[in-house]
């Protein structure tokens, strides 16, 4: 696949995830008479736990990446 096609796919998936997450966060503040829309989303507690979990994972992965790539150039102890 060409890079432009892969970029469009990534942009589309990221945009869909952003719209889903944004509407998930706003849903508790909107009075909805039909309850079917609430069945499309997980409980609100997960809306706050998932970014924390992914943030911790990202910071840990970035730290490990930096540690293993920098240790060749810097002698520690």
- Checking if the pLDDT of 77 tops 60, the result is no
Give the model confidence (pLDDT) of 42-75 as tens digits: 887 888 888 899 999 999 999 999 988 888 777 7
Alpha-carbon gap, residue 5 to 22, rounded angstroms: 26
In the chain, what are the domain boundaries? Answer: 1-41, 44-77
8-33 burial: b if 16+ Cβ within 10 Å, else e = eeeeeeeeeeeeeeeebeeeeeeeee
Reported pTM: 0.59
């Amino acid at each position: 696949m060409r890079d432009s096609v892969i970029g469009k796919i990534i942009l589309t998936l990221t945009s869909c995830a952003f719209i889903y997450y944004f509407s998930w966060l706003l849903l508790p503040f909107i009075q909805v008479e039909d309850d079917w829309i609430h069945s499309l989303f997980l409980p609100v507690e997960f809306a706050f736990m998932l970014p924390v979990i992914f943030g911790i994972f990202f910071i840990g992965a970035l730290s490990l990446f930096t540690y293993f790539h920098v240790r060749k150039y810097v002698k520690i102890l």
